Amino acid sequence: MKESPNTKFTIRVQAEGLTKEDIAVHYADTSDGTPYYVCKIDGHEVQLRKDDEKWEQIWGELNQEQVDALGAEINKHLV
């Protein structure tokens, strides 16, 4: 899937502490064009971006294991 401002999809992530429900994800970018992904998890917003093949959290309160699990699922939609 090519990234665009209209890119929206849902994922399920198997990681301790994350919901077993579908997680809504949509693509966004900053004013300077830097892409990131907004995830809605149990009513809370988390923002992630991929930097040099590693997923980083730019907003939210997840641990790195959860960030990696979300990033791995997002990657599956970007192939």
The radius of gyration of the chain from alpha carbons, rounded to an integer in Å, stands at 12
The helix (H) or strand (E) run that includes residue 27 is: strand 23-29
Mean pLDDT of the chain, nearest integer: 89
Domain that holds residue 57: 8-77
Q: What's the pLDDT score for residue 62? A: 96
* Structural domain includes residue 51: yes
* Structural domain includes residue 1: no
The pLDDT tens digits of the residues spanning 54-74 come to 999 999 999 999 999 999 999
Residue 4 has pLDDT above 80, yes or no: no
> Mapping DSSP to helix (H, G, I), strand (E, B) and coil, where does residue 70 land?
helix
pLDDT confidence band for 13 (50 / 70 / 90): very high
* Structural domain includes residue 26: yes
Instruction: For residue 66, give both structure tokens.
Output: 């959860």
The domain tally of the chain equals 1
Amino acid in position 29: D
Q: State pTM to two decimals.
A: 0.86
* Structural domain includes residue 2: no
* Structural domain includes residue 57: yes
